Amino acid sequence: MQLYGIVLAAGQGKRMKSKLYKVLHPVCGKPMVGHVLDVLDAVQVDRKVVIVGHGAEAVQAYLGNRAEFALQAEQLGTGHAVAMAKPQLGEEDGITVVICGDTPLIRPDSLEAMIGLHREQGAAATLMSADLDVPRGYGRIVRSGQGDVERIVEQKDCTAEEDAIREINAGTYVFDNRKLFAALEKVTNHNAQNEYYFTDVIGILRAQGEKVLAYCTSDPSEWIGVNDRVALSEAEKYMRERINQEHMRNGVTVIDPANTYIEKEVRIGADTVLYPGTVLRGNTVIGQDCMVGPNSEIADSTIGDGVEIKHSVLAEATVGDNCTVGPFAYLRPGAKLAGNVKIGDFVEIKNSFLDEGVKVSHLSYIGDATVGKNVNVGCGSITVNYDGFNKHKTVIGDDAFVGSNVNLIAPVTIGKGAFLVAGSTITNDVPDNDVAIARERQTNKAGYAEKLRNRFKTQKENKKST
């Protein structure tokens, strides 16, 4: 039997008070609607229709070919929104999941269990519910004396008795597809909001004698719908807890989970240790037996096994096995380190390849360069790669030695085994095994220091007298 999905993503999200369309606000690095589509993919939904309205172009641009789209040009309620999918799905046989685009915390296991219950019982509709101590703001589930779901009453339409009900509608549903669209034809806007409530479908199906079930989730986070920045922070907290726990169960040590921030797509090998303040973003992959942090940020980077990264920032970088990075290093996009490379404090690497055994221990900049095996780069040395108009490349051969405070004016090539004397400004290529010295010869003027001090003293006294 075909499985379909309808994602409600047409609301404006005024309470977010943001220029960014609501369902595109990220939770742990991914827009909320992206999390929802991931869940539908995980349960193998065959066709997905996203209902768009405000910000339609932005949502479509983000999701691309992951879904079909239907436009809700007028915001006439959730029932009206679901009905917008009728041209695509109205005549299909199968089961349809209806889910909100601002509910990023739904678990695939829960949705799969709902679908399984729905199929086993031959229900017309199955909804997700939750028991809340303070259900304020949520639609209440009204059951019959036998415990069947009779209807859902929105908060603003509740009687005093209905307002006291603790079981709330979590906003995710499974339907027989044809019965869903037939019931939608009977939904009216005779309510306090003058809107077409999607939840009225439940009462319509019950009035027709159809079976309506409820799947009550035990996870207190799954029902959270994000309507403002407070709820967004709550969703972020719950998602982060899930992600951190999953990594810990897979063999990663997280010293302080409350202060470790890992986005959804990050992959980490066993026996890696994450210290407090670590932020791992995007499509980052970290190998086994690594040590990361404290206070390091890594985005869209690939880290090998046995790597140590301390107090550093990496973006779109590649780090080979058994490297050390930091403290206070910056690996910018295109930085590629082979194995056993040492990057020390206040070192910046950009768009450069550093081969096995390279050491850049402190206070240096390597940009647009290829550095051979076992090269040592001294303190304060830089590749001068930009002439104000274009970037130029520096090539340093294997086993070369770059002394402290050497400027390599690109384009320039340094041969294998070459030795660049400290303080030199290198403007020409250096052949293999040559020593290059490019600095002014030192001159010592005997006794001249005393003359300088006397001159400065006289100038200072003259200023005071005037």
Catalytic residues: 362
71 is in an annotated binding site: no
Max Cα distance, the chain (Å): 110
> Strands across the sheet with 318-319, in order?
267-268, 285-286, 302-303, 318-319, 336-337, 353-354, 369-371, 394-396, 412-414
338 is in an annotated binding site: no
Report cis status (omega within 30 of 0) of the bond before 257.
Answer: no
Which SS3 state, helix, strand or coil, does residue 106 take? coil
76 is in an annotated binding site: no
445 is in an annotated binding site: no
208 is in an annotated binding site: no
Per DSSP, 430 falls in state B
385 is in an annotated binding site: yes
* 116, containing H or E segment: helix 108-121
337 is in an annotated binding site: no
154 is in an annotated binding site: yes
77 is in an annotated binding site: yes
Q: Supply the Cα-derived Rg of the chain in whole angstroms.
A: 32
78 is in an annotated binding site: yes
Residue in the structure block whose two tokens are 């009905």: 83
22 is in an annotated binding site: yes
Q: Which two tokens stand for residue 375?
A: 């090269």
439 is in an annotated binding site: yes
Per DSSP, 201 falls in state H
139 is in an annotated binding site: yes
169 is in an annotated binding site: yes
CB contact at 8 A, 168 and 159: no
19 is in an annotated binding site: no
For the packed helices 200-207 and 177-184, what is the interaxial angle rounded to 10 degrees? 100
Q: Which two tokens stand for residue 60?
A: 């479509």
CB contact at 8 A, 48 and 64: no
Beta carbons within 8 Å of 36's beta carbon, 6+ residues apart: 7, 23, 99, 100, 101, 103, 104, 106
DSSP for 320-381, please give it: -TT-EE-SS-EE-TT-EE-TT-EEEET-EEES-EE-TT-EEEES-EEESEEE-TT-EE-TT-
68 is in an annotated binding site: no
447 is in an annotated binding site: no
Q: Could you list the residues known to form a binding site for UDP-N-acetyl-alpha-D-glucosamine, using ranges.
A: 8-11, 22, 72, 77-78, 139, 154, 169, 227, 332, 350, 365, 376
Q: Could you list the residues known to form a binding site for Mg(2+), using ranges.
A: 102, 227
Q: Could you list the residues known to form a binding site for acetyl-CoA, using ranges.
A: 385-386, 404, 422, 439
Q: Could you list the residues known to form a binding site, using ranges.
A: 8-11, 22, 72, 77-78, 102, 139, 154, 169, 227, 332, 350, 365, 376, 385-386, 404, 422, 439
